């Protein structure tokens, strides 16, 4: 296309010209630090979650590094309207995550407050979740969890402020007897996931697992 000639897609790390559907070139791809976690085994996410709520299984695609490529990938997705980043990250996930015979019943991503959704124009987790749903044949529900309070991005808060957030989420409809996989972009303190998990656990006889794009550990 003509636009591709004048505005070619470039690697978000080194600026080499790459195919339109890609985020990084093959050389920079090798710099991404994937976790290689086993969904069913012990890992740092499971250890941290267990301190906050009863968790079944956990998985993180990448290690989040402040000055690394994983941060650039998440930043492109969240703040630069690169929706295709969600698709790419989902494809990398399905190449590495095997649920075996214990697939969760439902995929639920962390919601944005309606005001923030209007400001950003999209929820960066929706396409990621929908690609996973299609591949694994697991339904998703973007409406199950509501965010009750508008606040600035977690990345802009200090740790003390993040820990002070109370009951920011609620369940919008009945749910019971389900194994829910909660999906977020970056796992830091675990407080966001924990707040949602307790809402789901208290709503009925449910179980919760966790999947994140990157883990800050």
- CATH number reported for the structural domain that contains residue 94 in this entry: 3.40.50
CA trace torsion 120, 186, 205, 146 (10° rounding): -20
pLDDT at residue 21 tops 50: yes
* Average pLDDT for 131-160: 80
Pair (96, 193) in one structural domain: yes
Task: Assess contact for 74 and 82: CB atoms under 8 A.
Answer: no
Report how far residue 172's alpha carbon sits from residue 187's, in angstroms, rounded to the nearest whole number.
24
Quick: pLDDT tens for 47-74.
999 999 999 999 999 999 988 899 999 9
Closest CA to 56 of 210, 197, 211: 210
* Residue 150 pLDDT level (bands cut at 50, 70, 90): low
Query: What is the residue whose two structure tokens read 């550990």?
Result: 217
Pair (56, 140) in one structural domain: yes
* Average pLDDT for 155-176: 70
* Average pLDDT for 149-153: 62
Pair (106, 211) in one structural domain: yes
Pair (157, 191) in one structural domain: yes
Pair (55, 133) in one structural domain: yes
Q: What percent of the chain has pLDDT over 70?
A: 84
pLDDT at residue 117 tops 70: no
Task: Assess contact for 85 and 76: CB atoms under 8 A.
Answer: yes
* Residue 168 pLDDT level (bands cut at 50, 70, 90): confident
Pair (20, 90) in one structural domain: no
pLDDT of residue 148: 85
Q: Which two tokens stand for residue 201?
A: 């656990």
Q: Give 171's strand partners.
A: 145
Domain that holds residue 16: 1-31
pLDDT of residue 76: 84
pLDDT of residue 121: 67
Q: Where are the alpha helices (DSSP H) in the chain?
A: 2-6, 26-29, 44-50, 69-79, 84-94, 114-120, 126-136, 159-164, 191-203
pLDDT at residue 1 tops 60: no
Three-state SS for 32-46 is: CCECCCCCCCCCHHH
Pair (87, 177) in one structural domain: yes
Task: Assess contact for 35 and 63: CB atoms under 8 A.
Answer: yes
Pair (25, 130) in one structural domain: no
* Residue 3 pLDDT level (bands cut at 50, 70, 90): very low
* Residue 178 pLDDT level (bands cut at 50, 70, 90): very high
Pair (75, 125) in one structural domain: yes
Pair (188, 165) in one structural domain: yes
Pair (112, 168) in one structural domain: yes
Structural element, H or E, at residue 187: strand 179-187
* Average pLDDT for 8-27: 92
* Residue 171 pLDDT level (bands cut at 50, 70, 90): very high
Looking at the 3D structure of the chain, how many domains does it have?
2
Mean pLDDT of the chain: 88
pLDDT at residue 163 tops 80: no
Sign, CA torsion 153/156/158/159: positive
Pair (102, 204) in one structural domain: yes
- pTM given for the model: 0.87
């Amino acid at each position: 296309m003509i636009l591709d000639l004048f505005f070619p897609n470039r690697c978000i790390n080194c600026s080499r010209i790459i195919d339109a559907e890609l985020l990084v070139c093959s050389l920079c791809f090798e710099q991404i630090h994937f976790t290689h976690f086993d969904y069913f085994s012990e890992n740092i996410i499971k250890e941290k979650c267990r301190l906050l709520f009863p968790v079944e299984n956990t998985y993180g695609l990448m290690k989040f590094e402040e000055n690394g490529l994983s941060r650039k990938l998440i930043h492109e997705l969240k703040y630069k309207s690169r929706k295709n980043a969600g698709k790419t990250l989902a494809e990398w996930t399905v190449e590495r995550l095997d649920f075996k015979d214990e697939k969760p019943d439902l995929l639920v991503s962390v919601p944005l407050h309606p005001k923030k959704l209007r400001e950003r124009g999209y929820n960066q987790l929706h396409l990621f979740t929908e690609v996973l749903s299609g591949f694994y044949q697991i339904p998703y529900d973007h409406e199950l969890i509501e965010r009750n309070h508008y606040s600035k991005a977690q990345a802009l808060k200090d740790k003390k402020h993040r820990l002070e957030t109370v009951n920011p989420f609620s369940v919008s409809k009945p749910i019971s007897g389900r194994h829910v996989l909660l999906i977020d972009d970056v796992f830091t303190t675990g407080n966001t996931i924990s707040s949602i998990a307790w809402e789901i656990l208290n709503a009925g006889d449910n179980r919760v697992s966790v999947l994140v794009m990157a883990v800050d550990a």
